[in-house]
Structure formats: structure tokens, C-alpha cells
Amino acid sequence: MKKADVVIIGGSAAGPVAGISCRRRYPEKGVVLIRKEEQVLVPCGIPYIFGTVGTPEKNLIPDALLDKNGIELVKGEAVDIDREKKSVSLAGGDAVSYEKLILATGSLPVVLPIPGLDKENAFTVEKDVAYLRHVLDVINGARDIVVIGGGFIGVEFADECKKNRNCNVTIVEILPHCLQLALDEEFCAEAENVLTERGIKLLVNKRVEAVLGDNKVSGVRLSGGEELKADVVIVGVGATPNTELAKKAGFQIGPTRAIQVDRYMQTITDADVFACGDCAEKFSFFSGRVSRLMLASIACTEARIAGVNLFNKRYATPGAIGVFSTVIGERAFGCAGLTEVMAKREGFDVVIGESTAADRHPGSIPGAAATKVKLVFSRDDGLLLGGGVSGGTGVGELVNVISACIQSHMTAYDIVLFQMGTQPCLTASPIAYQLVNAAELAVKAMR
């Protein structure tokens, strides 16, 4: 039996990061990472395989990352955990013993109970290179593509499938707007306009009731009886924690069907076992209640916490804030924390500050894009609760700044004094810097 100080099960975003954090904090400890995949995909990059990137092989997390950090890779499927003997059994009969164990088994795509989803050319978003290569081959020959789900995954798949292809792409979304679970309505409407301009058909307030065809997909039937022609159906409606191995080993599972952990990412079942990423239960930064957020960014934060805390507890998770960004065509959208709608639902009396300006100065600089920032504050104390942004390519980092302000418990009064760095080709003008101006307008409204 192979022996290791630390064993990690799972090779996607959380697994390697947990291993690297452990090795940096405890360089004397030996780390073994077990994964069943031959190659590991960059999870957030999967939609871009079908357009921008072009192949699954260009969207891989390199194994050299493990080698460079002294982490031993064992390829095989973990099928059992013996907590008493502190060992992990593999499908081929081998086993690895551990002093500390990290579960980073990730998530699985949600499978909707729609009749016909088992037909040929109906796909979910699997994290498997060979599977996605097949999906790409099918999409390259498709004429009519229906995407079920108008969240970030569905929208990105639809936009990428439309690139460089003469095909019809339709998004079917059960809610009144695409991206509605993350963005306020005005940003949703803006995103939908961009999608429509790019030739993507949107059907909101609609449900797919059946996938049509004999053995192969030929269409879908919607609520109300309408039928759409389709030779490919892609289901992109989210993920569910992959906890079968944990359940088998007797770990306690929480209300979100994820492994229950404390703020140190230590399982409440076994002090020598930690869990992080999509398989671990989360709680909200704002309310402390359980959260269903699943993001690679959250997974990596939790992995760093787990890796450091294995032998000496130092870090505690502040809770999930939720930071999203995406790009549709040339227009980017992002958000951090609570939207206005979410904040009101949580019981906050909110004040809104909004500011729009070019993301370069002067705005005549080539590549400049009008960028809107909307900030949500608590009226009681001015605390920043969240923010939404739309604009150019700088949106991704701007929502990261908003997240940092939220995590640091900054108020509108603090953000008014925010000391930014500006440069004509890179940022908005210091006079019109949207983050500061939105905060200043919120302070005015609080008086």
C-alpha cells in the first residue's frame, strides 16, 4: 500500500490548489493527488471549446503544475474510503494510506427530468475531454441548436456555438430573463439585446417539456405545445455536488446535498478529513445561511483554506460572496455580491449608486467602451452589499475590486475615498471613475 502524509481526491480546480497550498505551508509533507481523468479540463473554459479556443486539448490544466509543486499524481478512480484504517481504495485494487485527506470531488451536471434527453445528440456539460470532442464534432455539423438554460453556462454555450458557424441557435429559459439569477434586470435586458443582435433567438418564460425524435434528436416541445426544430440539444442548467464517495464513507451531507464542513473546511464527521470546492457545503457571506453557489473561484479559495489548515488551523472562510463575469460578443457583464433584488429579498433597505463613463480617457481612444457600474448599499450603515457592471474587457477585474470592497466591509463613505490608479489606455478617467462616482451618488441619496 502506498503511503502519503496528505491524499487529495479530485483533480479539477480545487484539488491541485489544495495540494499546492499544503506544499507551500508544509514543504516536508508528501502529497498524493488521486484522479480518474487522464486529462483535466479548465472548468470555466468548457463553453469556449466550441468557438474561441477550438478544441478540448487547448483547454487543459497541465499536469506539470503538479510536478512543479512536488505533488505525486495517481491516476485511478477512488471507490472507497476506510476512515478507521485511513486509506483510500482504487478501482484497480490498489490503495493509498493517509494522515490527512482532502475531498475535492467537484460536481456533476444537473440532469433534468425531461423525456427524450437520452436521445443521440442531446448533451449535458460533462468535464470529459473525449465526450466534449464528440460534442464539438456534432455541433460542427449542426444546423439547429437548442440550449436549455439561460444562465452563464447556457449563454456562453449559445454565443460560442454561433461563432463561425451558419447555424440557428435558440436559448430556452424558464425565467423571465436570461442571467436573472445573477444580474439585475437592466443588465439582463442589455445582455439579451446583445444576444439578439448576434442572431441568437431567446425564448424566456418557456419550459422544454420533451426532446423529440426517434433515436436521434429532431426537435423539442415547449410548454404550451410549441415545437422547435433541433438536431442538437445542450443542457446547461447548473451542477450538483458529487458526493457519492463521501456518502458511502459515512460523511454527513448538508441541505444543499454537499459535504458538511466548518469554517476551516474540516468535515464535521472526521477531524482528519477536509472538503473543498463544489462537493463542500457553503454559506453566504451576507446571511450566514447555506448557499448553493458553485464557482471555480470559490473552490480555489476553499482549497487554499483546506490546504493550509490540514495541520494547523490558520484560515477561516468568510463565506461565499459570489463573483460572476461573462462576455457576449464585445460586451462584458459582471456582478459581485447581492443584486438590488437579492438585497431587498434579504431584508435590506438599500440605496443605489450608478455611474456610466468610458473605460478609457479620453473616450475617443480606440477600444473605449461605455462602462456602467451599479452599486448596492445598506441605507442603515452605508455598507456595500453588491455591484453590477457592464462594459468592455475591464469588467472582469472591476467586479473583482467590488468583491474586495465587500469582503473588506467597506462603506459608501470609504469608497468615495478609494485611491485608484488610472492610465488613459487602461482605465476610466479619475474624474469619471465609475466606482467612486457611484459611491458618491449613493452617499448623496443617504443624506
Q: Output the average pLDDT for the chain.
A: 97
- Residue bearing cell 439585475: 184
> What's the pLDDT at 164?
86
Going by their DSSP bridges, the two strands 31-35 and 71-75 should be labelled as parallel
> What's the pLDDT at 179?
97
Where exactly are the structural domains of the chain? 2-108+240-309, 111-237, 323-446
> What's the pLDDT at 427?
96
| pTM of the complete model | 0.95
Q: Which CATH superfamily does the domain covering 2-108+240-309 fall into?
A: FAD/NAD(P)-binding domain (3.50.50.60)
Right CATH for 111-237 from 3.90.550.10, 3.50.50.60, 3.40.50.40, 3.10.20.740: 3.50.50.60
Average pLDDT of span 82-107: 97
Average pLDDT of span 58-62: 96
* Listed residue (187, 218, 189, 211) closest to 202, CA to CA: 189
Q: What is the DSSP string of 226-252?
A: -EEE-SEEEE-S-EEE--HHHHHTT--
The set of cell numbers assigned to 66 is: 503538479
> What's the pLDDT at 1?
87
Across 285-378, where does the E strand assignment appear? 290-291, 323-328, 331-337, 350-358, 370-378
The helix, strand and coil proportions of the chain, stated in percent and rounded to the nearest 5, come to 30, 30, 40
Average pLDDT of span 93-102: 97
> What's the pLDDT at 447?
81
pLDDT in tens, 243-285: 999 999 999 999 999 999 999 999 999 999 999 999 999 999 9
Q: Say how far residue 299 (Cα) sits from the centre of its chain.
A: 9
